[in-house]
């Protein structure tokens, strides 16, 4: 099922380009050019809001305020030419998940949107086979209560797998997901190294590998045994 995204952008040229690019990524995009049109669309329900701040009849801030009345957990990203600290702070205080200033790189925008959706979809914590527990709120990984020291990239790679439990992910999908917000990317050789390191840290001696190689297709994380929100 496609991800439903409300794009609130009054610039027709930018809106057309974004609609095309996001639809190519699999999003179902609904565009609104004004605050009034955006607020009228909110009851339809969206997985993600992409909001410009300055609108002809108001602001993206007000759209987010109204969206949060309908759904306090509504994911939202601001996309705006205003990059001053005051607007950034206000947007984040309203509960925005991210803030991207124009001009922007399309690849960066797509990466950030995926990151927001991954964070929102994942449970607060989950238990993997072998007693490995991932606490997504604290960004901690433990086995039997003992911490596992993952690097930032190893943890990010684990989050990608957790967002697709039991699914086979190709190397291309993993490389694309690991593209960071600064435009840096992980190459194929580096991906091999990090998968090997992550496996070594997660695996329990004598137990099947948590990250399995699916020959010719990619890699698959064993599905979590128990989604956990409150395990001590």
**170 and 206 together in one domain:** yes
Q: Each residue of 3-44: pLDDT tens digit?
A: 999 999 999 999 999 999 999 989 999 999 999 999 999 999
- Last residue of a domain, which of 91, 121, 151? 121
- State both tokens at 45: 């329900």
Exposure letters 216-227 (e unless 16+ CB within 10 A, then b): eebbbbbebeee
Contact between residue 146 and residue 135 where contact means Cβ atoms under 8 Å apart? no
- Last residue of a domain, which of 87, 121, 155? 121
Q: Each residue of 55-85: pLDDT tens digit?
A: 999 999 999 999 988 888 889 999 877 555 5
**36 and 115 together in one domain:** yes
Range of the domain at 145: 125-228
**130 and 201 together in one domain:** yes
pTM listed for this prediction: 0.56
In angstroms, the CA 232 to CA 220 distance is 27
**109 and 130 together in one domain:** no
Phi, psi values for residue 23, rounded to 5°: -65, -35
In this structure, the dihedral spanned by the alpha carbons of residues 53, 58, 62 and 66, taken in order and rounded to 10 degrees, is -130
Task: Write the CATH number for 168.
Answer: 1.10.10.10
Nearest to 198 by CA among 144, 146, 159, 145: 159
**114 and 7 together in one domain:** yes
**10 and 77 together in one domain:** yes
Q: Strands, E, within 33-185: which ranges?
A: 48-51, 54-55, 58-59, 76-80, 98-101, 125-128, 132-135, 140-143, 146-147, 168-169
Structure confidence at residue 121 (pLDDT): 65
In angstroms, the CA 137 to CA 75 distance is 16
In angstroms, the CA 52 to CA 101 distance is 10
């Amino acid at each position: 099922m496609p991800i439903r995204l409300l794009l609130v952008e009054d610039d027709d040229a930018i809106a057309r380009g974004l609609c095309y690019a996001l639809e190519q990524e699999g999003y179902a995009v609904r565009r609104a050019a004004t605050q009034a049109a955006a607020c009228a669309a909110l009851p339809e329900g969206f997985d993600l809001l992409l909001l410009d701040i300055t609108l002809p009849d108001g602001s993206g801030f007000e759209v987010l305020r109204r969206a949060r009345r309908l759904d306090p957990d509504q994911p939202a990203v601001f996309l705006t030419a205003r990059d001053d600290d005051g607007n950034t702070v206000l947007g984040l205080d309203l509960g925005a998940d991210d803030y991207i200033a124009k001009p922007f790189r399309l690849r960066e925008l797509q990466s950030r949107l995926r990151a927001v959706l991954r964070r929102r979809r994942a449970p607060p914590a989950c238990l993997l086979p072998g007693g490995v527990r991932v606490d997504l709120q604290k960004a901690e990984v433990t086995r039997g209560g003992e911490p596992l020291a993952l690097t930032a990239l190893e943890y990010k790679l684990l989050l990608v797998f957790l967002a697709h439990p039991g699914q086979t992910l190709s190397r291309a999908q993993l490389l694309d997901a690991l593209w960071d917000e600064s435009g840096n990317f992980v190459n194929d050789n580096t991906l091999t190294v990090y998968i090997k390191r992550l496996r070594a840290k997660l695996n329990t001696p004598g137990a099947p590998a948590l990250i399995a190689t699916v020959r010719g297709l990619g890699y698959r994380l064993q599905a979590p045994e128990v989604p956990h929100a409150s395990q001590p």
